Amino acid sequence: MIDPKDKVYRFEEFVLDCPSRCLTRSGEPVKLNSKTFELLKTLVENRGRIVSKDELLDSVWPGQFVEENNLTVQMSTLRKVLGVERPLISTVPGKGYGFVANVTPVNGSQDILVENFEVSRIVVEEFLPTAESDQHTELATNRYGNRSTTFGIAAIAILAVIGGTLYFRAVTGAEASFGPYQNSAVRQLTTSGKVGLAALSPDGRSFAYTIDDLGQKSLWVGYVDGGDHIQLRPPDEAVYRSLTFSPDNFHLFYSLQDEKNANASLMKIPVLGGHQEKVLEHVGTFSLSPGGDEIAVVRQSPEDDTKISISIAPLDGSPQRDIAAFDRSERYIASTLSWRKDGTKIAFALIGDEKPFHTEIATLDLATGTVDRIEHKMVREVTRTEWLDDGSGLVLIAVDLDSHSSVPHYQMYQLDYPSGDLQRITNDRSQYGASWHNDAGVSLSSSGSAQTLLAVEHRQLNNVWLAAADDLTQQRQITFGSFGKYDGLWGLDWTPDGRIIYNTSDTESQFIAEMSIDGENQKQLTPSGNVDSSLSVTADGKHIVFHSNRATDFSIWRTDIDGSNAKQLTSGGDAFLATASPDGKWVYFKSYIGESNGWLCRVPIDGGQQECFTDRETSFASFSPDGNYIAAAYRSDKNRFAIFSAADHSLLRQIDIPNNATASVHIRWKPDSKTFTVRDSFSGYWNFPIDGDPYKLVGLPDERLYNFAWSRDGKWFAFVRGQEIRDVILLQRAAN
């Protein structure tokens, strides 16, 4: 066996020669002092795990007592030597450091494989809330001080500073595949983890992107080859859509909705900064023409409200012209408009009623108005199309037909035109160019005979945490799932005896599981291969109700509490968001069966005829524990929360939704039946008293949180915590 001190390691363009105590970069020696060299050697030898500060202090300064700031100084020096364009050392606040580059022993000896490193085990047992910076700075602690303060989502912190996607795929065990870009160079262009939209300039030299920092969005421009990024618009509560460069690379066009533009307007701004100009009003998603003088948009037909049309709007304010009209039932996807580079065709996607989950790709000939549909059988939920520069095909952002993860795994595909042959570009546990808000995209550019592809990569990890209901600062993590599981994200509830029933996922399906209050004794209750989601446990603890796609449509199902004796309760149309009445006799749900159109309906718990009680879209219904009230999201003249009488279903009260409160994922009543809780879109949760003003829960981390549930005895608050990391990546396909 070769001793570690005799090894030579290669990573990136570096070679670390331990016997010679020498570091070279591309063959050139790199000057390091002895302590910095020891620090690098220790990190490289312990790659694949987090090395604590104490370990590093003992290794670099053996037998000596030194202050921790000595380690900080040497770490800063080492990072400068290695470069910051692609960080090779990650910081896990409160825990230590990890070397994240792919390392190869030059001498050919056996070595630890990074691929075998299990990311979920980085997570530690307790968490005390701290402020998280964009750069994930270390927590300053004395070497012999308190070591119990730890960061409970350490795996995320590591991945947030990784300067490329290939390492992510390696450590998660995901299969990396770039299809026609198989031999492409992959570069990560941003490191904030907060990117929304992104676009690449036609010359491939610069890129634009938005940053979303807890609802405060800003607009930036960066350069593919490096350099300082320019902030074009400061953070504010704005919504950006359809970000794109002008053909001459000098301007950015984007749709902006803010305080001054309530209905969204098309804006234009120089890429080097300057005055923002309003070009057109009432423009949401759009596609800019190759000449830069027109946009393609989706409009509702003024003559027939059952029709929508693709229209061309000149940027000089001249009248727009309708090119093609479609029936609204086909659910045209406005974000998928893409103008072919020769200006002859527009590609788009639509969803027909006859094929659930199937998205069709079509092209519109601008000269004749002819629509051609391209046959394919692999994908659904297409959210973006973009023509290749030579017009020979399209890049798609879409979900595989067989994938039903809790978070849709949007991947990149290349669709050949006109044959319809489809091949993957990516195939991993990230998602690309899409999010819950459906606000990110993909952009293309050419340089000579090479093809450059820019996209937003979205990585997400979710786990269940537990807090004391009377002191939410007392919290701990109880599941430690890896990427792709999303524990509790779309289903979380308690049994009367204190067990937790939750929804979890793999990359292909969602299923229901149970665990004890400490996260132990985890057991899968429903089989994989379906979407079993949005669950509710009956008050007597005998049954679980949920919606599932086990039948042709989404329908409401019931199982015994152990997952056995599954029974379908509804059929004949889609039904979602099941919740059981406190007396255990009924299951309430959001129905699209028959004439109902998102209404609140119910069905007997043993199955039977549905009854409906609203004629407006009603979502995420939840019963107060005393059985007197139903709280729900309710769309009347606008989205509101509503309280109904559980006895006669009469509407008792409508509540305006303040700030960023949302019913998304669930509404939950507190055990006293006097208050219901909803989540905030950007940070934490809101309490809504029946009689009183809403207020935010205090004591929880100031970050985006997800599903939640109060225990039946009122002692515990279970909630789903995680992090979404969104950064710009660039793939460059080599010339043939």
For the chain, domain boundaries? 4-160, 176-297+328-459+727-733, 613-714
Helix (H, G, I), strand (E, B) or coil at 667: coil
| Residue 497 structure tokens | 């005896």
Q: Is 277 exposed, middle or buried (0-12, 13-18, 19+ CB in 10 A)?
A: exposed
The answer to whether the beta carbons of residues 665 and 707 sit under 8 Å apart is yes
Q: Please, what is the Cα angle at 625 between 619 and 628, to 5 degrees?
A: 75
Q: Is 471 exposed, middle or buried (0-12, 13-18, 19+ CB in 10 A)?
A: exposed
Q: Phi and psi at residue 6, in whole multiples of 5°?
A: -100, 5
Cα–Cα nearest to 396, from 404, 405, 409, 387? 387
Task: Specify whether domain 613-714 bears CATH 2.120.10.30.
Answer: yes
Side-chain-facing half-sphere of 528: CA atoms under 13 Å: 11
pLDDT tens digits, one per residue of 17-65:
888 888 988 888 888 888 899 999 999 988 867 888 888 888 888 877 6
Do domains 4-160 and 176-297+328-459+727-733 share one topology? The answer is: no
Task: Using 50 as the pLDDT threshold, list the residues of the chain that sit under it.
Answer: 1-3, 108-176, 434-440, 447-448
Give me the numbers of helices (H) and strands (E) for the chain, helices first please.
5, 55
CATH value of 176-297+328-459+727-733 in 3.10.620.30, 2.130.10.10, 3.40.50.1390, 3.60.21.10? 2.130.10.10
What is the pLDDT, as a whole number, of residue 186? 81
Between the CA of residue 585 and those of 27, 562, 572, 590, what are the distances in Å? Answer: 75, 19, 22, 17
Cα–Cα nearest to 609, from 594, 631, 624? 594
Nearest-angstrom CA–CA distance, 534 and 547 = 6
Task: State CA 646 to chain mean position distance.
Answer: 36
What is the pLDDT, as a whole number, of residue 375? 77
pLDDT tens digits, one per residue of 506-554:
867 899 999 999 999 999 999 988 999 999 999 999 999 999 999 878 9
Residue linked to tokens 């979900």: 399
> What is the distance in angstroms between the CA of the first residue and the CA of the last residue of the chain?
44
For residue 122, the 8-state DSSP code is G
| Residue 249 structure tokens | 């690379």
Nearest-angstrom CA–CA distance, 556 and 237 = 38
Helix (H, G, I), strand (E, B) or coil at 565: coil
Helix (H, G, I), strand (E, B) or coil at 352: coil
* Global model pTM greater than 0.75: no
| Residue 657 structure tokens | 């939704």
CATH number of 4-160: 1.10.10.10
The answer to whether the beta carbons of residues 667 and 623 sit under 8 Å apart is no
